[in-house]
Amino acid sequence: MSQNEERREFFRIDDCVTMQLIPFNASDGKEVKALPEEFEILNQLRKVELESAQTFRAIQEKHRDIAHYLKVQNEKFDILANYIANQLKGSFEQEKVNISGNGLQFTSPKPYPINSRWHLKLLLFPDCYGLYCEAKVVKCDPVKDAHKIAIEFRNLHERDQDALIKHITKLQSKKLRQQRLSN
């Protein structure tokens, strides 16, 4: 077993994300804003949704009409979150990645120096969850006319890692359901 395989602590899955990598030296000592305001809004919308889920289930059992109304209101928030997220897509690169709770791998036309440090802003779909962390390049392998880049997340906030793991689990469940339905 290789060192990279031993280092894996989390399940990995293929995904399409919106991301931006800014080299540490590009900030020239200036602080890079952790998250765009839009990311913060998206994250607050998701936080409110998660915090109210248990209450919603209790209401749903006793008051179907109120639960239906609340579900429609939640759909409005989802539409707003998707609109904000789609506006951000123009400022960030969409990438096909292989992602886990502690890093991701993607293909790039340019090489990234091993051990180089980056500011990473990442937007997950369809959850519309944005996160920011430091990233370190741990692998850069040439493949055809490109490079396979692997980065490791650094200083990732625990709530962001939890959201990332939930996102990955949800994607895996969806893929397994689709496989069962197609068989």
Instruction: Tell me whether residue 168 is in a domain.
Output: yes
**Runs of H (alpha helix) within 21-114:** 37-62, 64-88
Instruction: Tell me whether residue 6 is in a domain.
Output: no
pLDDT tens string 44-68: 888 888 788 888 888 988 988 998 8
| CATH code for the domain of 139 | 2.40.10.220
Between these two residues, 53 and 136, which has the higher pLDDT value? 136
CA nearest neighbour of 68 among 79, 76, 60: 60
147 vs 120: CA distance, rounded Å: 18
In this structure, are strands 103-108 and 93-100 parallel, antiparallel, or unpaired? antiparallel
Query: Mean pLDDT across the stretch 88-94?
Result: 75
pLDDT at 75 over 70: yes
Single-letter amino acid, residue 161: Q
Residue 16 is part of which domain span?
11-25+34-182
94 vs 157: CA distance, rounded Å: 23
Instruction: Tell me whether residue 115 is in a domain.
Output: yes
pLDDT at 30 over 70: no
pLDDT at 5 over 70: no
Between these two residues, 29 and 160, which has the higher pLDDT value? 160
* CA dihedral sign, ordered 19, 23, 28, 32: positive
pLDDT at 105 over 60: yes
Structural domain count of the chain? 1
122 vs 35: CA distance, rounded Å: 9
Instruction: Tell me whether residue 1 is in a domain.
Output: no
Instruction: Tell me whether residue 87 is in a domain.
Output: yes
Confidence of residue 32 (pLDDT cuts 50, 70, 90): low
The reported pLDDT for the residue numbered 3 is 45
pTM for this predicted structure: 0.74
Single-letter amino acid, residue 104: L
162 vs 127: CA distance, rounded Å: 13
